[in-house]
Structure 1
Amino acid sequence: MMLTTNLGTHAAHADKVEVTPNPLGVEARSAILIDADSGQVLYAVNADKAYPPASMTKLMTEYLVLEEISAGRLSLTDMVTATKEAASIPPDGSQIYLAEGDQHSVKDLYMAMAVQSANDATIALADRIGGTEQGFVEKMNETAKALGLKSAHFTSATGLADTTVISASDLARFASILIKKHPEFLDFSKTPSYKFRERDKTAMVNLNWMLETNKSIPNFKQYAYPGVDGMKTGYIGSAGYCFTGTAKQGDLRLISVVMDTSSKSSRFVQTAKLFDYGFDNFEKKTIIAPKSVVETNKTVKIKKGVSKQVPIVTASDVSFLVKKNGTPNVTLSNVKLKEGGELVAPIASGTVVGTATYSYKDPDTGQSLNKTINLVTSEDVKKASWWRLMFRGLGSFISGLFKGIMDLF
């Protein structure tokens, strides 16, 4: 590991994902693999251009439903009445055959959307939240803008419209936001099957063939992948077969997106190529251990303390995802200390006094990443007694007076 010091500034992420060659032979119009935790791009092919995502659009719908629940405006037990629009979905798409006026819980409709990609369930939820699908679409676009998804333009809640577009890079980044903010999403996304109605003869089967739980199912076991627990498939003619997937092995979670593959099975085969590459070639490496000393800022000044300064250390570790057996070049790019580096006693050990930012530039993609951690005091500093402060002040006065006299000569 190499660590250098450079107190210039670095962007947290590259604005554009570099289009890489395709040594893995990923057969997709667009593809990307990222670290879910940091957003670091591990592999990308034509990932910045926006294409129709088909039913992967529903990831935004699922996100907004969970946002409503989190805000207390909706609950999983609330009943939703199917609108005429929800009951009028074309028969050739995935659906649960809602009739106008049918009532189902938010949970059941969400499950139908997450497991079976049911378009009518999606519209029913969109109508409940947005008043109409168009009202909901406005929320989708507002949210995309707020989250910085610059390539995203939504025209439907389902993705059936080919006028909805988003890039693979934005979709992967959004998927990371979704599972960070709403980890409960994965509880729905990883459900292998779900019976929507008691009278239904068969349960809905998850369209994600890669779920690890499929390893014992004859039709799917060849696609089941260790650690896969989400996220969303998609298909319309103009989009081809698409898939946003996520898998976790050990402490590493990856997110992949493939757009416009040739078949239902190919989208999972191409995703497996990406996951294999990520898990086989990368590891999280601790660059800075907790309680490490920052060489450029070993102490901060303390006012009115028994000591005039106190040692500071890192509060946590700094880790980056790097090539296995690699030697990452990490830079200390910025240090910020509270109140210009001066604090007032008493100060307890572990008091946050500033931050340190470390930067890493991926040698393969050129992407720059920052990790900012807190700097904390490593020991207590008691407040000095009044007589000590008095004599300290007197000493400073005499020293200043003597210096002033010497400056006259």
Structure 2
Amino acid sequence: MLLNMLCLSALPAAMVFAEKAPASTAATTNTAQTTVAGSIQKPDLNVLSAVLIEPTTGQILFSENADKPLPPASMTKMMTEYIVAEQVKEGKLKWTDKVTVGENPAQTVGSRIFLAQGDVHTVEELYTAMAVGSANDATVALAERVSGSEQEFVKLMNKTAQELGMKTAYFINATGLDKKDMPEKYRPDTDKEDVMSAMDAAILGKHIVMDHPDFAKFTSIQSYKFRERDKAPIVNYNWMLESNKNVPNFKAYAYPGLDGLKTGHTQNAGNCFTGTAERDGMRLISVVMGTDSEAHRFTETKKLLDYGFDNFEIKQVVAGKSKVEGLDTVPVKKGKATEVGVVTDSDVSFIVPKGSEVKGVQSKTQLEPEDKLVAPIKKGTKVGTVTYTYKAEGIDQPQTKTVNLVTSEEVEKGGWFRLFFRAIKDMFGDLFNSIKNLF
């Protein structure tokens, strides 16, 4: 019987800079410097929490209090950005759609572009102001355009957070403002505030970069003039943009390959930053929360990204269309052939220490029930899955990836004559074995 076979083998006038760091003393945590696997040294950070992941595998490379829910400040806007981009992707919105500004966004404070009630701007203009200048008023205007009101949009934010696997995130507004800083008329009836863990921010960042690979069209913009009449453009709060390498005020922070994602600051949150950079074909996403200054959210991010890029790489361990050891074929019922070859439908890659050999990868297969493998069967038909597991030196948890097992060729349905004589052959074979077992 073919059931569950297992196979195991071995800074402008047009903006109010609300994110500018106050003279505060945000609490910090000194991450003990440790050596992993004898050679890879973890960074020493001054943060409340931090995490570093590789988005295609989801592998966590560094984690410090990463599951603790904290005020995310304007990193909340990543969810607004994601939802609006999804709406455009699904055809529910167009970048060219006009948005009429209501009372709520017009009264919203903090980082803003001074929208007036009745102003009309396109979705793209408001989105750019949100992504580049963290404009609270533009964010609320977009939220109202999507859902009719900010609080209805908040329901969508919380629903989306659950769907994306964000375990601690809870939103009360679209901007990340503390409740007391929202227009009084539009404050929700709750004692809660926006919260999100560093891990949740990384998960959200992962979905932004993977579901919307054109994200940098907005997040990498250095400056943006929202209106022709504005005396100065909006300047991106992200000092680490690679394109800032020639900007005197920011060149000390510019980071090769960095093109996003979102800064955040409130008095309660301290200074936060979700960053992403790509080098040599590998992208990383970092999150730091609760740093004590604008500058330190970037210096701590640099430590995290350097740690990832200096010590790790993505390596393919199984090529697509590969056979699984010990499972070249599976039986087929009612076909011209009685079996068909099976291969993986995609490649498998893991994060490994740079320059290391990949050894000890294990595989475990799970096949479809026998009654599903009945001809005719097309090439590429899923017949099961194979899960690969690998424990890399320098990474705390084993990595796993599951891919489909598919047929490597087509199997046509057998004619009645062929199937009739095959049945007779099988019957006599079973009878012979039964008699043989009597002696």
TM-score range, shorter chain: 0.7 to 0.9
Once the 2 structures are TM-superposed, how far is the Cα of residue 224 of structure 1 from its aligned partner?
Answer: 1.3
Once the 2 structures are TM-superposed, how far is the Cα of residue 230 of structure 1 from its aligned partner?
Answer: 0.8
Once the 2 structures are TM-superposed, how far is the Cα of residue 407 of structure 1 from its aligned partner?
Answer: 5.5
Confirm or deny that 1:125 pairs with 2:125: no
The answer for the alignment partner of 1:204 in structure 2 is 234
Q: Which amino acid aligns with 1:132?
A: S
Confirm or deny that 1:146 pairs with 2:176: no
**Greater Cα offset, 180-189 or 305-314:** 305-314
Contact 1:20–1:365 (CA under 8 A) maintained in structure 2:
no
TM-score with structure 1 length normalisation?
0.88
Once the 2 structures are TM-superposed, how far is the Cα of residue 155 of structure 1 from its aligned partner?
Answer: 1.6
Whole-Å Cα distance in 2 between the matches of residues 306 and 84 of structure 1? Answer: 71
Whole-Å Cα distance in 2 between the matches of residues 351 and 143 of structure 1? Answer: 32
Superposed, which structure 2 residues align to 1:296-375 within 5 Å? 296-328=326-358, 330-340=360-370, 343-347=373-377, 349-375=379-405
1:99 corresponds, among 102, 116, 123, to 116
Q: Which amino acid aligns with 1:61?
A: T
Whole-Å Cα distance in 2 between the matches of residues 342 and 67 of structure 1? Answer: 36
Contact 2:132–2:237 (CA under 8 A) maintained in structure 1:
yes
Once the 2 structures are TM-superposed, how far is the Cα of residue 52 of structure 1 from its aligned partner?
Answer: 0.7
The answer for the alignment partner of 1:177 in structure 2 is 207
Q: Give the SS at the match of 2:277.
A: strand
Contact 2:143–2:150 (CA under 8 A) maintained in structure 1:
yes
Whole-Å Cα distance in 1 between the matches of residues 348 and 297 of structure 2? Answer: 35
The answer for the alignment partner of 2:177 in structure 1 is 160
The answer for the alignment partner of 1:36 in structure 2 is 55
Contact 1:151–1:166 (CA under 8 A) maintained in structure 2:
yes
The answer for the alignment partner of 2:257 in structure 1 is 227
1:213 corresponds, among 238, 243, 250, to 243
The answer for the alignment partner of 2:38 in structure 1 is none
Specify every segment of 5 or more residues in structure 2 that has no aligned partner in the other structure, as ranges.
1-6, 10-29, 34-41, 180-192
Once the 2 structures are TM-superposed, how far is the Cα of residue 388 of structure 1 from its aligned partner?
Answer: 3.8
Contact 2:73–2:264 (CA under 8 A) maintained in structure 1:
yes
- Counting matched residue pairs gives 393
Deviations 1:360-386 (A, max 9, x none): 345545334321222233345455555
Q: Which amino acid aligns with 1:374?
A: N
Whole-Å Cα distance in 2 between the matches of residues 342 and 143 of structure 1? Answer: 35
Superposed, which structure 2 residues align to 1:18-29 within 5 Å? 21-22=32-33, 23-29=42-48
Q: Give the SS at the match of 1:31.
A: strand
Whole-Å Cα distance in 2 between the matches of residues 138 and 397 of structure 1? Answer: 63
Q: Give the SS at the match of 1:303.
A: coil
Deviations 1:40-92 (A, max 9, x none): 110112211111111101001111212222333322111111122211123xx
Whole-Å Cα distance in 1 between the matches of residues 418 and 168 of structure 2? Answer: 63
Confirm or deny that 1:240 pairs with 2:257: no
Once the 2 structures are TM-superposed, how far is the Cα of residue 342 of structure 1 from its aligned partner?
Answer: 6.7
2:96 corresponds, among 73, 77, 85, to 77
Whole-Å Cα distance in 2 between the matches of residues 228 and 187 of structure 1? Answer: 13
The answer for the alignment partner of 1:48 in structure 2 is 67
Q: Give the SS at the match of 1:51.
A: coil
**Greater Cα offset, 334-343 or 52-61:** 334-343
Confirm or deny that 1:391 pairs with 2:405: no
Once the 2 structures are TM-superposed, how far is the Cα of residue 235 of structure 1 from its aligned partner?
Answer: 0.6
Give the direction of change, closer, same or farther, for the CA distance of 1:380–1:140 in structure 2 (3 Å limit): closer
Q: Which amino acid aligns with 2:340?
A: V
2:283 corresponds, among 232, 248, 253, to 253
**Greater Cα offset, 319-328 or 341-350:** 341-350
The answer for the alignment partner of 2:131 in structure 1 is 114
Identical columns (%): 52
Contact 2:243–2:254 (CA under 8 A) maintained in structure 1:
yes
**Greater Cα offset, 169-178 or 334-343:** 334-343
Q: Which amino acid aligns with 2:251?
A: K
Q: Give the SS at the match of 2:332.
A: strand
Superposed, which structure 2 residues align to 1:268-287 within 5 Å? 268-287=298-317
Give the direction of change, closer, same or farther, for the CA distance of 1:233–1:382 in structure 2 (3 Å limit): same
Contact 1:330–1:358 (CA under 8 A) maintained in structure 2:
no
Once the 2 structures are TM-superposed, how far is the Cα of residue 307 of structure 1 from its aligned partner?
Answer: 3.5
Deviations 1:100-155 (A, max 9, x none): 11111111111000000011111111222232222222222222223221211112
TM-score with structure 2 length normalisation?
0.82
Give the direction of change, closer, same or farther, for the CA distance of 1:151–1:392 in structure 2 (3 Å limit): same
Q: Give the SS at the match of 2:103.
A: coil
Once the 2 structures are TM-superposed, how far is the Cα of residue 401 of structure 1 from its aligned partner?
Answer: 3.2
Give the direction of change, closer, same or farther, for the CA distance of 1:386–1:138 in structure 2 (3 Å limit): closer
Q: Which amino acid aligns with 2:57?
A: S
